[in-house]
Amino acid sequence: MPRLFITFEGGEGSGKSTQLARLARRLAARGIEPVMTREPGGTPLAEGIRSLLLDPARRPGATAEALMMQAARADLVATVIRPALDQGRVVLCDRYDDSTLAYQGAGRGLDDAMLRGWNRTATGGLVPDLTLLFDLDPAVGLARRAGAAGDTNRLDREPSAFHARVRERFLALAREAPARWRVLDATASPEAIEADVWRAVEPRLGG
């Protein structure tokens, strides 16, 4: 079984969660049972933090928000992601530390170097083998979210300029590390995107 850490990034409504599930099914058909998790979340502690972070009734400041994200991340890495990778598993994670650079960095305006340092502390320096970015106009993604869920969380309700900054930061991060990132057109059909995801993942499976 290959040891592989894949993260899924993108704005609200980009379809990354759907594609994570589709990839998991493809891997299972190949005899590989991946570990699926998400940020913030994936552990009882981190899921509790998630509920606080996404609650529209709460308005934590930018620094408090970032530190809550890091606490959830540290717990997830220590109790789920690293142990799975140490066992030679494939781990699929819906968001990871790049989201902090996009949302709390570009979106909220916190210092990039500071956030990178916090990321290293929370993850112990664990870097994904592959990051898939599902790129989409934020207006389209937010419309999808509203139509599918019928409700919105706190991040969904941020102004369009916030979501535009998040998107641009994700694209900039992808340009900085092209060997790790794959940028996918999230306006394509789910089937076409699934095929693109598989083309990015399959060569890394070996055998």
Binding site for ATP, residues? 10-17
Return the beta strands (E) in 31-180 as ranges: 35-38, 90-94, 130-135
Q: Tell me the Ramachandran region of residue 88: left when phi exceeds 0, alpha when psi lies from -120 to 50, beta otherwise.
A: left
User: Which segments are annotated as binding site?
Assistant: 10-17
d(CA 34, CA 84) in angstroms, rounded, equals 9
CA angle centred on 183, ends 190 and 36, rounded to 5°: 65
d(CA 1, CA 49) in angstroms, rounded, equals 32
d(CA 125, CA 119) in angstroms, rounded, equals 8
What is the distance of C-alpha 49 from the center of its chain?
16
Half-sphere exposure of 178 toward its Cβ, with a 13 Å CA cutoff?
1
